[in-house]
Structure 1
């Protein structure tokens, strides 16, 4: 016996007997995944799955009924405790039919958590409705039958990883049988090969060639099954009433004639529904040969759906083999038909290699799941997932180009989850729901521009639950949100965010429908009020204050020559050395080294850049370049040997490692150069410094152009060089950047990190509003900054409380000057300072 989490939407475990051989196969498949993190796949916490499944179901039922949403929420959240609701009683048939017919897909299915979670919610809801059905109907309304029906009719999944697909299938099977006490009564397990499939969800083409023509789906017939089911139920009730009269169980008070007339009416109604509305026969507008091919393709699609249904329940090995072979043959024939139409049959030869492969570099949604798209209002009712988080740098050049040519969301150095967002809107039916747990970085990142435009322009946004700097994934430093879209025009959407350190507890209450007053932001937002360049979710008064600041000022970018990144050596353990007890130590060689001390440059790491201060550097940089007249060049080998022979000897000791960088990219005569020698002329200039990641503004001034600093990631810094001739001094600019007001602006437009940290990356600091004033008006700021810098440069400053208190007083004076400069009202000052207290 083994403990398995089979209800992914509930924080419970079950003891399940599992065939050890099956577990062995799963384990072998797991070994095929060399690095799950590189695929951007992370396990989703159960509480999140539970909420997302319930919310998706609530949206689906609200869209397709006239039941008040408050009643639907009670029905889904409370189950049996919502049976007294009149709207549920009156609509139980429609609700049951909708729950039976729902189409759900996870396009990055992983281990199957979301489809299984959705199945359990559907089973629970349908079980609640069973009390409204008569006794004979209740016999077949078992949890096992509900699960099997849901798996067959409603659940779909795709993953590029074949081992994940196998695990998802196992999860489905375990979930199907877990509640059954008598194993002998369980039907043979269904075949899931055409429900949970392997492929690349994001691409429907191969090497730029379209593989399936959507026109082959033909005219979509209207679905009258619900109307026919209602007729069936009315006939059953009337026939039951007539039988009771015939057997004397019920007295006939003249109703039998009325029942007969009503049955005749229902018979006519059934005939009318089956025959459908009369329509004019459309005139042929295409070539007869093309029409014939289309009719043939549509016949094949019909056969495909029939075979998939037979295959699902088939247990005979021989029959399964035949069905699978026939399904594959039809699918490939339809692909060939498309390629013939496009005159591109030679692509078929290159595709042959994927015929027997489990995984394909494409996925043809409308072919492989044709039953979902060959219906009225085609597409999925719910698309739900934790899409992979993979930066474009980790994709091949071909993958990157194909995604860029197919998706508007593929902007800048995009992350693949924004592509999943766009693709999923494409496969969602009108009125359907998209529900994703994904990074919130797209709110204000450069690469999020494309998806921000799509979401605002379409007005599909329904709800955003933002976890801000609270981490949900124990195995990844990822800051997430739940993105919910409904594929219809929404005038506004709900923005929900949890404040403080107890966000997890608040969310758990919120997810069960409990009304929370304190510790949560819950505001309606109009999509047109969100600018494309960034999303900042604030109240109306705060947004009005931002508008005021921007109107009175210009962004910092107008006044800077450059905001530049620190040194990226690509071999830090070699180029960055530490000074210990007067001697240089090489981390790479793990020993002290003897080099010319006048060659190395003082190097700051991000944590060395403090507010109005630079911490004494411990590290030094080997900088193999010389800068003259604002131009930099690599020091030639001959000159290096003559002037700095000890440094050259040290580099020679590391030569093999330096030549081997980036797959031997540096195996040439300039092997000792940096791979990416960016900004090498900028460091020995007057500049403002800032560390990339900080709890509050930590800008300082390098007035003599002494310091070099590291770049890359969140551990380094940026330098800010003002344009020559601008009417701004470095001291005035520094005062504004370190002010509470500017920090309030930046932190509301920046990325949040855990433990109260914010990003001070280039794209955020360039937007800070700077008011241009005369040199005379700048003088009060300059005077105070000079005083602060003269105090903080003292060696005893970090331990001298009196000096620290004096600096705080001077900073408050700057803040008052800044409030006056931007003409802030007492109410606006309160907004700024309250934000600073609440962080």
Structure 2
């Protein structure tokens, strides 16, 4: 309700500013000043005194009546809302009534207050993402009588809504509500001819009918009957599927095609809104699928933005494009992550196809709205030639500071990005100065994606408490480690475990070590991890087998019994990250600054919080050379300006953010120099973690800057931002 109340007061304020705030006779309120403070209307007279209603004063009565009816007009004709939560709908209706109550007045010559109008009908409950009827669907395939029925119902519905809004008599109001419900039921009884499941049902039904009338005297009757039974059974199945969909998916569907008659023409065609504003919910696909698996399937069928590990807010942006007029504007408070995240590919495709992104104010890591999600203000408008982009460089501690910024910022403060340069691949959005440096970097011949053959996450067991062993000690051919599952120390054969790293174990340039191990029920053969048979584990690793048997019930019960398979109940949930025994770089997924380290012999396995980086066979440079670049200030600056912000200066270090990083040609001399400097840092850290090696890192940064041909001005900008 807050959005609509704010919009109401803003529109009244704008009418006052434009000199078109007038009383019922058309006379403007020119001796009054209207302002907004904390979303509240503040009315003062020409002397600066606050307005206070006095029904005994003619001028005061005129002002009070004017604000009441102006608010009523805006609420009834300009503001519409939809929410899936009925309580939110009631709260919004109540808040709008309260806004009217602030300016209700006594009827002339009486002690009776003006009756509040029926403004509740514009605020409705439903799932705004799901509709039975297409907004711009072609219903010409419906029988003519049904088309005429739709048109009559639409006209009658519009008349009843107008009647309801001006109705004061309770009995007539009740009757009008019943008429509206009856007309909506008429819409609900009409099947949507564009629905895929409805079409399939009717196609098979038509075949069944045709077959029923096709029997010839010389035809095999048994065969004919069998075919008829098959067609009738299939017809019944498809009809039941369609009817079930109506009861489930469409039980709280919101029918934009007729719910708001104010945006329909006389023939019932949807015209569209001038503006759509909102703060859509943030919910990842995993949450939707866990709670509403069939609804997730439906969303994926309906929305092109349902790509990858999508977030539901993308659907609201896509849906809104069909709700506004061709010149309409959409303004959302929502995460900016879709612009450069893998899951945003679908929405980026929808947006770029329509050239529909016009402005973004990215809040970055600043929590402007006291939310845990990193958001921004985003404007969408079809056929936009440019995207205006601005990223905050400071936090706003009060709403007043934020409002002042939003009211004073101009297009000159934004970096202009041609819409033609945006596509479905990830977007790099920054201000002009940063973009010029990024352009320099992008002149390099290679990308990090050309260097690494594989960038992989660590192992996913789906039951770490069983597989992970802590505070381990080695004793001959065994390791002794603490099992969280059993809450005791257990003994396992060395051949059934691997050294295990977690994100906290990996730091820049440090020699890798760990006292954790993971039970690894696989044997490596021909570059492939093959699950041991149960008999092999029992024979070769008796201590390990006894331990796994003690945890068998838990392992079989993982993921709702998916691993309740004889002979395989001890396998991991997926095989990714099993081929870790190879030379590689490793780094935690979430990091503050580059934290790349070098696993020379491929000794270590890791959890899913770490990524491993394996070079392509034709890349000649040494791993240490790339470790120096990935731990440099320049790489971190690139990630800060192109990656996904987390709290307290942390960022995600994932393949889709690393692969675009440009890589220059590196001479043998420069490569050797970088290796020597890396070796010095590693040696110092081995001797004493407290020794200062910052001077060597500065030498590495200077070399890296030189490789990319950056100017002193560029370097100063990078250093100031990272320092």
What TM-score, normalized to structure 2? 0.79
What is the 5 A alignment of 1:645-724?
645-669=542-566, 670-681=568-579, 683-711=580-608, 716-724=609-617
* Counterpart for residue 197 of structure 1: 124
Displacement of 1:458 in angstroms is 3.3
Partner in structure 1 of residue 351 of structure 2: 455
Q: Retained in 1: the 8 A contact 2:105–2:114? A: no
2:526 aligned with 1:638, yes or no?
A: no
- 1:499 is matched with 393
**CA separation of 1:340 and 1:125: change in aligned 2, threshold 3 A:** farther
- 2:702 corresponds in structure 1 to 816
2:420 to 504, 528, 538: 528
Give runs of aligned pairs for residues 176-187 of structure 1, distance below 5 A. 176-177=100-101, 185-186=112-113
Partners of 1:159 and 1:510 lie apart in 2 by: 30
- Which residue of 2 is the match for residue 738 of structure 1? 631
Q: Which residue of 2 aligns with 1:334?
A: 187
Aligned to 1:606: 503
Is the counterpart of residue 307 in structure 1 residue 199 in structure 2? no
Q: Which residue of 1 aligns with 2:254?
A: 363
Q: Distance in 1 between matches of 2:494 and 2:712?
A: 55
Correspondence for 1:422 among 302, 318, 331: 318
Cα 1:497–1:775 shift into 2, 3 Å: closer
Unaligned runs of 5+ in 1: 1-5, 10-48, 62-74, 83-87, 100-117, 217-285
Q: Does 1:481 find its partner at 2:365?
A: no
Q: Distance in 1 between matches of 2:248 and 2:599?
A: 60
CA spacing shift, 1:638–1:675, aligned 2, 3 Å: same
Shift of 1:378: 2.3
Partners of 1:181 and 1:406 lie apart in 2 by 48
Summarize the Cα distance change of 1:127–1:392 in structure 2 as closer, same or farther, 3 Å threshold.
farther
Change (3 A) 1:509 1:57: closer
1:553 aligned residue (439, 445, 458): 445
Q: Is the 8 A contact 1:742 1:769 kept in 2?
A: no
* Offset of residue 613 of structure 1: 1.2
The residue number in structure 2 matching 1:237 is none
Alignment of 1:74-153 (within 5 A): 76=14, 88-89=18-19, 91-92=20-21, 138=62, 141-153=65-77
Equivalences for residues 164-183 of structure 1 within 5 A = 164-177=88-101
- Separation in structure 2 between the aligned mates of residue 195 and residue 440 of structure 1, nearest angstrom: 30
Contact 1:567–1:710, Cα closer than 8 Å, also in 2:
yes
**CA shift for structure 1 position 141:** 2.8
Work out whether residues 391 and 431 of structure 2, in 8 Å CA contact, stay in contact via their aligned partners in 1: no
Q: CA deviation at 1:728?
A: 2.2
Q: CA deviation at 1:758?
A: 1.4
Higher relative contact order (CA 8 A, sep 6+): 1
1:413 deviation in Å? 2.3
Higher mean alpha-carbon deviation, 435-444 vs 149-158, is at 149-158
Which moved further from structure 2: 153-162 or 683-692? 153-162
Distance 2:175 2:391 in 1: 53
Aligned to 1:765: 658
Quick one: which of 365, 368, 376 aligns to 1:469? 365
Q: Normalising to structure 1: TM-score of the pair?
A: 0.69
Cα contact 1:601–1:623 (8 A) shared by 2: yes
Distance 1:579 1:355, change over 3 A: closer
Superposed CA deviations along residues 46-94 of structure 1, whole A, max 9, x for unmatched, are xxx99x849x968xx9xxxxxxxxxxxxx65xx97x5xxxxx33x5569
State the distance in 1 between where 2:193 and 2:282 align.
37
RMSD of aligned C-alpha atoms? 4.2
Offset from partner CA, 1:266-303 (integer Å, 9 cap, x none): xxxxxxxxxxxxxxxxxxxx99x966654443222111
Question: What SS does structure 1 have at the residue aligned with 2:443?
Answer: helix
Once the two structures are overlaid, the 10-residue window that deviates more, 722-731 or 536-545, is 536-545
Distance 1:192 1:778 in 2: 72
Deviation at 1:594, TM superposition (A): 3.2
Are the structure 2 counterparts of residues 501 and 197 from structure 1 closer, same or farther at C-alpha, using a change threshold of 3 Å? closer
Deviations 1:335-387 (A, max 9, x none): 54454798859799877789999983532202111322327992112211110
Q: Do the aligned partners of 1:498 and 1:506 also contact (CA within 8 Å) in 2? A: no
2:364 partner SS: strand
Post-superposition shift, 1:686? 0.6
Quote the offset at 1:771 in angstroms: 2.1
User: Is residue 161 of structure 1 aligned with residue 85 of structure 2?
Assistant: yes
Q: Could you say which residue in structure 1 is the equivalent of 2:216?
A: none
